[in-house]
Structure 1
Amino acid sequence: MWYSQSAKDVLQKLKTDVQQGLSPEEVEKRLEKYGLNKWREQKSRSILTMLKDQLNDALIFVLLGAVLITSFMGEYVDAIIIMLVIFINASLGIIQEIKAGKAIEDLHKLASPKALVRRNGKVSEVNTDQLVPGDIVILETGRLIPADLRLIESINLQVEESALTGESVSANKKADEIFKDENIPLGDQQNMVFMSTLVTYGRGVGVVVSTGEDTEVGKIAEEINTDEAKTPLEKRLDELGKVLGKIAVAVCVLIFIIGYFQGRDLAELFLTAVSLAVASIPEGLAAIVAVVLSVGVTKMSKQNAIIKRLPAVETLGSVNIICSDKTGTLTQNKMTVTSYFTLSHNIQEVDQKKNDEHSKLLAKAMFLCSDATLEGDKSSGDPTEIALLSFADDLNLNRIEISEQSKRLDELPFDSDRKMMSVVVENNDQKRIYTKGAIDRLLPKCTHVLIDNQVLEINEQHKSEIEESIHQLSSQALRTLASAYKDISEIPSKDEWEENLVFIGLVGMIDPPREEVKPAIAKAKAAGITTLMITGDHAETAFAIAKDLKIAKNISQTITGQGLDKIDSDKLQHQIKDYRVFARVSPQHKVAIVKALKAEGNIVSMTGDGVNDAPSLSNANIGVAMGITGTDVSKSASDMILTDDNFATIVTAVEQGRNIYSNIKKSVIFLLTSNIGEVVTMLVTILAGMPAPLIATQLLWINLLTDSLPAIALGMDPSSDDVMTHKPRPANESFFAHKQGSRAILGGSLIGFLTIGAYWFGFYEHGYSPFDENIPEDILSYARTMAFMSLIASQLFYSLAFRHYRKSIFQIGIFSNKYLTGAIIIGFLLQVLVLEIPVLQEAFKLQSLDAAGWAMAIGLGLVPLIVNEIIKLYHRSQSR
């Protein structure tokens, strides 16, 4: 353990000199031994691999089988169409994966492209991947740490480690500390600094002890599980493909056997059986799903979310747990002064209108005793000091003017032992010492207090009021910082600077929640989604934020990493539902939490931006990384990246995911209903001994027409306004849940029997029966045309009924889905062309219908839609 050894011992062990550094020859040797200073990256997938994955699907295998069968039967046009569907589906998936990969490349930024290194006695900048153990690295404010370093020197050094530890407050670093304990948490290793963290204050010198995969960042990167489990949608489609494949074979065999024993023509019978088998498979489903998902992904990208895999959108829609990091995700990742205390006015909230002289002095003392800079949105330095500059701005102080009038003569830098900082300022020949620091260290140094512009000797009453204010601010999880001053004629020795001070007041600051987070959490809650906070911050601070955001109600819903360690995995699985806030947790704790939630059957989304989030992002059903503040590791581990780092975008993604799944389900049930109608029509008539009501070419045309435009149009249905009022779907929910299977069977059966009725009417209109012998060919052709037109009309009109499971088409608007309206119109136009153009009429063996025939076909076609509307009306009246 490097932190348990002295700096001298570390230098000897690494065979390096702090003044000279390594020689170029030694660097080359160590590069060969240790490799480049970067962790192993995943290789980009080839197009051939992506194509293989796209085709590795049960439904695709069934379609390929259909291609072989139809090609064997000479139906080359249909075989080509099915192959086109397969090609389009695979292409969409590949294109989306390539686009997502490009987006990730654009987001990918190196943690630190350059580092200041001392080699051969000279300091120069080198690429961070060229660093090796033993290199001497110079650290300055604003520099990213390029590798894991054991500090050799530190001067007021502070490092922001939230990406690794979850702590929003910078950690103090001291080179001369030595820790003998073998289990010191990363956040407490004061003599170490780690790759991908940021120097916010001071300076230092460190020796590289670990590079690449051996760094703390690299270890976490290696922990990431790259095996991707199938999403719920992929599983549903896989199961559906297998079921439909079996049904297709069964239908084909059954009809052929029945027809064989009835003495039908075997060649025609085989072609009809195969055509019906193909018709019973909604080959448009794969393409429809890809199109709907692709449209959803495009829409998401415009809403600041990059989806890396198409099905991830749907999975996000089924999420019922969102695990969120606190710092930078729920909060703004910047300290802000929200309240302050003076003995003149007690505790006040920061308000530009409340800017009395005492408050102004407090703000003035704070920002003069600071080394940070702040201009507009640009800032540098310690986040706490930046917050103090903002505090002065909030009280309408002119910092530029005050700074110009106040000349800093000397300073006593912040020290982690003293926990104070002091400066000597001269203004119009008047010298004054301003001191800021921790209240427990500063208050004992105060002999006087300022009240209403009067300096009074401090007494027990004053101390009691100050302590009460600290208690009140701390109860709100505010971090307190106090300020004092004293006037001097000559600059005393520094031992006397922080003695006999006049207490001015103190401020309370916190890393505040994002404004848009609270309504987003409320919206998620209404949708049955629970938000959990998982952070490395202190329990009190985490709970205060969680309570404000209404994530948790009481402190009993908070547990720390130490508390988690006392619970074994089996017990945690059952107790996990009792907690809403997980504080002071390590990356391993986060993974354990996600696994426990998943073991209870939850669909879990994990959001985060730090390196420490990566393993849990990877283990979650959906990992959501922040694009702006997110680290490289977290982005590569995630399924979705938010380009605006906005928690509210996640809830929007959930809503989009739910609508996408709903639309896919509409398309699936509609296709199955239509295909059941075709199967019922053929099975019943052949079982009854009638001539086949539809021939192979007609079946394939119907299948092509209804499996394309109307089904895709349903997949493009506008978002439902009530989709976020329902609980998330169970992870194992079938496509046919909530009586959707019964709906498909009953609706398909109704369409089938109505088609048979239209078929019978075609005979009846000309004085024949379908059971007659020696039926003229033109009468049979007319009856088939009636069945053909009635079946198409039923399916096209019935597509309107699938737009909402309960609302009437008049409530949602008949024409509100312009794609579906267009699909129905185009469908009827194509049907008319087939019926009226002589060449097509002959090819499909159809006849023109008379007025009675058209009226019957359209009238019967409207029946399924009307029946469905009546059933919906009944259910709505029952629910009222």
Structure 2
Amino acid sequence: MWFSKSIEEVLKELKVDPKQGLSDAEAKARLEKYGPNILKGKAKKSIFRMLVEQLQDWLIYVLIAAVVITLFMGEYVDAVIILVVIILNAVLGVVQEVKAGNAIEALQKIASPKALVRRGGVVKEVGSESVVPGDVLVLDAGRFIAADLRLIESANLQIEESALTGESVPSSKDATLTHTDPQTPVGDRANSAFMSTLVTYGRGLGVVIGTGMDTEVGKIAKIIDTEEESQTPLEVRLEKLGKTLGKLAIGICVLIFGVAMLQGRDLAEMFLISVSLAVASIPEGLAAIVAIVLSIGVTSMSRHNAIIRRLPAVETLGSVNIICSDKTGTLTQNKMTVIQYFSTAGEVTVGREKRNGATEDAKLLARAMVLCSDATYEDGEATGDPTEIALLLFADDLGLERKALNAANKRVGEFAFDSDRKLMSTLNEENGRFTVYTKGAIDNLLNISTHVLEHGQVVPLTDAHKQQFYAATDNMSGKALRTLGVAYRPVDSVIGTSEMEKDLILLGMVGMIDPPRIEVKASVEKARNAGITSMMITGDHKNTAYAIAHELGIAENISQAITGQEIDAFTEQAFSEKVSGFRVFARVSPEHKVKIVRALKAHGNIVSMTGDGVNDAPSLNAADIGVAMGITGTDVAKSASDMILTDDNFATIVSAIEQGRNIYNNIRKAVIFLLTCNLGEVVAMFMTLLIGWEAPLIATQLLWINLITDSLPAVALGMDPGDPDVMQEKPRDPEESFFAGGAGIRAVGGGLLIGGLTILAFWFGYYEHGYSPFDDVVPVDTLENARTLAFMTLVACQLFYSLAMRNPVKSIFRIGVFSNKYLLGAILLGLVLQLVVIGIPFMQEAFNLQMLDVQGWVMVLFLGLVPLLINELFKIFLRVRQRKALA
């Protein structure tokens, strides 16, 4: 039992030096021996199982019943065609499910937790699956633990183990303990840490003693499947729409069958036609279209640095009208650099090229900053907070030997940073002498310091000294510099955390800057044009935050900035009334972030909020779209988010909103196209049968048309390239009807037009042979000719009309005829398949078709282009009306 062994025994048995960790070669060898550090999940569905599930649908049951009936009737060709349609639909569904599953797996791999591991003496971040027994893991607040560990160092370490023990209160850890009882329960093993638990406070080191299924979680977890299968709000809406339309379509088909009975038609033939029309008119492809477009869109977004964790976020993105963003790393480059430092001797500018002339006060200040830090920086590779990394580089600027300094000053205690104190303290021992070093917000340090170092002498801290520091802080903040102070205190022995931050000696402070990202200003302007307000929420000083916000175009004047302290002075109602007038929220705590989100949402805003820390989880949950940082973000923040930015860049949020809008629009245009086509089929069948004509299409023809229009142009429309002007529009109202903006009128109008043209083509098929659809006796070849014309015209109308569906206002020439190659391919393939059906003799016979004459082909081409041409003319009218409205 590892928990019953001393640290030395564990390290010896695992053959690892905690200061060096495993070598890369040894880690690779152990990975081959023990396997990847993953839990075995449920087995993937087999292709056969997926195929069976695709057949478990009531529409399919109706078709299967039709197959059985047609076989009894001796209509073997019809039975085979219907069966082929069933199988093709099922196969397409399986292909889609496999592709969607692969996309989700790829995203899960990108978003998998990381672990800080020491290998070859260097701390690096690796994927948790590559962690092996013997690895030395670095633990810090907000990080999920990647494997089971025997702790070898701990400093105020607390771990939340509810994932394993069910105990919600974090457990305190002590690496020095050894449990002699081999029956010690998991929850009582204070010297151990376990996979999937969360570090909530402090820091520590642990050596890996178990990975994968050999961990405590692995022993009890039969299945860990974090991806919940749930429908998005859009899918729910479409499912309801599909059911409503389905009931309507079935009602129409029952009516058609009833009319046929009254008219004395062949009931067997009319049964097949009614069933086929029901299947053709019910948009059962809606769910598949949504799933395919979402999976394609989400995968595309991941390639553009935005990982969508929850599919509803894609739909919500199109409605976002406020982006609340952190400053550091998101709006800025996250490359902090110390530019100035200040002590009682005055303000000094520092540059990396200038290593000489540093005073003893400055070196002592840098020494304190280095010892009160958890960051590392070696050979150009850094880990830790960017602010702390900047302090290490500052020490290098002044010529300090950091390795020797850290080696001579062993850390024996720590009071970890938290957002309430805004301080961090360490207790270091050097040659038997103990010193507390504290760094943090300068105003907090001034409150707990009693002395100051002045010209090498420790003197009492006076009001004059405080005024000096306040003036220096204002001066640096006015230059958009972030300030950080540091103090120290010699002590006689090891003391507790409650005693560390008392009676300190103030050393000085530094001013550092994190320059804005070059691309952010343009993104802020782009968001503004799209009706989206950008807001900055930061823990930085008000003046610093405003200076960056003003430079980026987020804020126009200082009155648009407010601090957390000023927020607290408002009542909740008063703040809610004023919140829309602010653009910069400075010096805020995580609790303030939640308050800001709720106040903004109270006005009906759809809010996106960024976060990276453990304490940001509540605000990420409160926001409509929680956005976690992929680089600097903790595992907790990522788990609470809807979207993860792999580049921590504000511009990526704006880009994701743009992609989200386009994905929603693509789904919408694909669905409206489907409904238009289905309505056209219903109109053509219902009107002709109602007036006593023969059915213009037979059952197999209807099923064929349904298969073509569902699987080809509709999916291609869902893959339409994004509209470059989508960010010129205002955010979409989340309560907006799916048929808003004239989409419903277009669907009805298009369906009536396509149905009417199909009826016209059917009539022309009689006319060119010298007959009328009202005639009682008509040769079979005349009826086949008329149905062939109706069949070809309906498909041509639908295929060409798909081009008009790409944009409700812009012409196909402005969009670019060749800009959606998938759609052109779908149209071309659809036409080729039609030629196959009509041109190959046995296919021609199976579908009761005949080759058209020249006059017939001209009619098909002319009528097929009419819906596209009329739609394009209507767009001209809409564009003229828009220009007049703007004039």
What are the equivalent positions in structure 2 for 1:387-406 lying under 5 Å apart? Answer: 387-391=390-394, 399=399
Q: What's the counterpart of residue 293 of structure 2?
A: 292
**Gaps spanning 5+ residues in structure 2: where?**
1-5, 11-37, 70-78, 115-126, 138-144, 162-169, 176-197, 206-225, 416-420, 429-437, 457-462, 489-504
Q: Retained in 2: the 8 A contact 1:561–1:586?
A: no
Q: What's the counterpart of residue 235 of structure 2?
A: 234
Q: What's the counterpart of residue 87 of structure 2?
A: 80
Q: What's the counterpart of residue 861 of structure 1?
A: 864
Aligned mates of 2:570, 2:133 — CA distance in 1: 42
Q: Deviations over 1:726-758 (max 9, x none)?
A: 222111222211000100111111111111111
State the shift of 1:235 in Å.
2.9
Secondary structure at 1:624's aligned position in 2?
Answer: strand
Q: What's the counterpart of residue 305 of structure 1?
A: 306
- Pair 1:783–1:368, CA change in 2 (3 A): same
- Pair 1:356–1:572, CA change in 2 (3 A): closer
State the shift of 1:144 in Å.
9.8
Q: Which amino acid counterpart does residue 560 of structure 1 have in structure 2?
A: G
What are the equivalent positions in structure 2 for 1:263-282 lying under 5 Å apart? Answer: 263-282=264-283
State the shift of 1:377 in Å.
3.2
- Pair 1:390–1:767, CA change in 2 (3 A): same
How many residue pairs get aligned? The number is 733
Identity of aligned residues (%): 51
Q: Which amino acid counterpart does residue 700 of structure 2 have in structure 1?
A: T
Q: Retained in 2: the 8 A contact 1:536–1:583?
A: yes
Secondary structure at 2:246's aligned position in 1?
Answer: helix
Secondary structure at 1:857's aligned position in 2?
Answer: helix
- Pair 1:857–1:383, CA change in 2 (3 A): closer
Q: Deviations over 1:347-377 (max 9, x none)?
A: 97x7779x79878999767546653674453
Q: Retained in 1: the 8 A contact 2:524–2:552?
A: yes
Q: What's the counterpart of residue 558 of structure 1?
A: 562
Q: What's the counterpart of residue 174 of structure 1?
A: none
State the shift of 1:315 in Å.
3.3
State the shift of 1:812 in Å.
1.7
Aligned mates of 2:247, 2:394 — CA distance in 1: 71
State the shift of 1:280 in Å.
0.7
Q: Deviations over 1:472-502 (max 9, x none)?
A: 2245573155999xxxxxxxxxxxxxxxx9x
Q: Deviations over 1:78-100 (max 9, x none)?
A: 33333334444444444444444
Q: Deviations over 1:801-821 (max 9, x none)?
A: 111221111112212211111
Q: Which amino acid counterpart does residue 399 of structure 1 have in structure 2?
A: G
Aligned mates of 1:407, 1:860 — CA distance in 2: 83
Aligned mates of 1:258, 1:606 — CA distance in 2: 59
- Pair 1:833–1:334, CA change in 2 (3 A): closer
Q: What's the counterpart of residue 656 of structure 1?
A: 659
Q: Retained in 2: the 8 A contact 1:342–1:506?
A: yes
Q: Retained in 2: the 8 A contact 1:363–1:392?
A: no
State the shift of 1:847 in Å.
1.3
Q: Which amino acid counterpart does residue 321 of structure 2 have in structure 1?
A: N
- Pair 1:47–1:732, CA change in 2 (3 A): farther
| Aligned equivalent of 1:378, options 367, 381, 392 | 381
Q: Deviations over 1:690-723 (max 9, x none)?
A: 1111111111111111222111111121122112
Aligned mates of 2:581, 2:858 — CA distance in 1: 64
Aligned mates of 1:419, 1:284 — CA distance in 2: 58
Q: Deviations over 1:535-561 (max 9, x none)?
A: 566766666655555445545653638
Q: What's the counterpart of residue 795 of structure 1?
A: 798
Q: What's the counterpart of residue 824 of structure 2?
A: 821
Q: What's the counterpart of residue 684 of structure 2?
A: 681
| Aligned equivalent of 1:723, options 711, 726, 736 | 726
- Pair 1:81–1:596, CA change in 2 (3 A): farther
The alignment status of 1:700 with 2:703, answered yes or no, reads yes
Q: Deviations over 1:265-319 (max 9, x none)?
A: 1111121111111111233333222222222222223223333444543333443
State the shift of 1:519 in Å.
3.9
Q: Retained in 2: the 8 A contact 1:667–1:711?
A: yes
Q: Retained in 2: the 8 A contact 1:321–1:602?
A: yes
Aligned mates of 2:147, 2:845 — CA distance in 1: 75
Aligned mates of 1:346, 1:571 — CA distance in 2: 41
State the shift of 1:676 in Å.
1.3
State the shift of 1:874 in Å.
1.9
Aligned mates of 1:359, 1:335 — CA distance in 2: 21
Aligned mates of 2:439, 2:635 — CA distance in 1: 37
Q: Retained in 1: the 8 A contact 2:370–2:392?
A: no
State the shift of 1:629 in Å.
3.0
State the shift of 1:799 in Å.
0.9
Aligned mates of 1:866, 1:504 — CA distance in 2: 78
Q: Retained in 2: the 8 A contact 1:677–1:751?
A: yes
- Pair 1:98–1:629, CA change in 2 (3 A): same
The alignment status of 1:337 with 2:338, answered yes or no, reads yes
| Aligned equivalent of 1:526, options 524, 529, 542 | 529
Secondary structure at 1:833's aligned position in 2?
Answer: helix
Q: Deviations over 1:231-270 (max 9, x none)?
A: 3322332222222222221221121122222222111112
Q: Retained in 1: the 8 A contact 2:50–2:94?
A: no
* TM-score, normalising length: structure 1: 0.69
What are the equivalent positions in structure 2 for 1:829-844 lying under 5 Å apart? Answer: 829-844=832-847
Secondary structure at 2:338's aligned position in 1?
Answer: strand
- Pair 1:461–1:576, CA change in 2 (3 A): closer
Q: Retained in 1: the 8 A contact 2:238–2:286?
A: no
Q: Retained in 1: the 8 A contact 2:564–2:592?
A: no
Q: What's the counterpart of residue 170 of structure 1?
A: none
Aligned mates of 2:286, 2:278 — CA distance in 1: 15
Secondary structure at 1:737's aligned position in 2?
Answer: coil
Q: Retained in 2: the 8 A contact 1:796–1:824?
A: yes
Aligned mates of 1:410, 1:94 — CA distance in 2: 52
**Gaps spanning 5+ residues in structure 1: where?**
1-19, 25-40, 118-125, 154-193, 204-224, 424-434, 450-459, 485-500
Q: What's the counterpart of residue 499 of structure 2?
A: none
Q: Which amino acid counterpart does residue 80 of structure 1 have in structure 2?
A: I
- Pair 1:575–1:56, CA change in 2 (3 A): farther
Q: What's the counterpart of residue 496 of structure 1?
A: none
Q: Which amino acid counterpart does residue 371 of structure 1 have in structure 2?
A: V
Q: Retained in 1: the 8 A contact 2:235–2:290?
A: no
Aligned mates of 2:528, 2:62 — CA distance in 1: 46
Q: Which amino acid counterpart does residue 248 of structure 1 have in structure 2?
A: A
State the shift of 1:766 in Å.
1.5
Q: Which amino acid counterpart does residue 634 of structure 1 have in structure 2?
A: A
The alignment status of 1:608 with 2:611, answered yes or no, reads yes
Q: Which amino acid counterpart does residue 727 of structure 1 have in structure 2?
A: K
Aligned mates of 1:436, 1:245 — CA distance in 2: 67
State the shift of 1:875 in Å.
1.8
Q: What's the counterpart of residue 742 of structure 1?
A: 745
- The CA RMSD over aligned residues, in Å, is 5.6
State the shift of 1:387 in Å.
2.6
Aligned mates of 1:605, 1:467 — CA distance in 2: 35
Q: Which amino acid counterpart does residue 703 of structure 1 have in structure 2?
A: N
Aligned mates of 2:149, 2:411 — CA distance in 1: 38
Q: Retained in 1: the 8 A contact 2:560–2:584?
A: no
Q: Which amino acid counterpart does residue 613 of structure 1 have in structure 2?
A: D
- Pair 1:846–1:55, CA change in 2 (3 A): closer
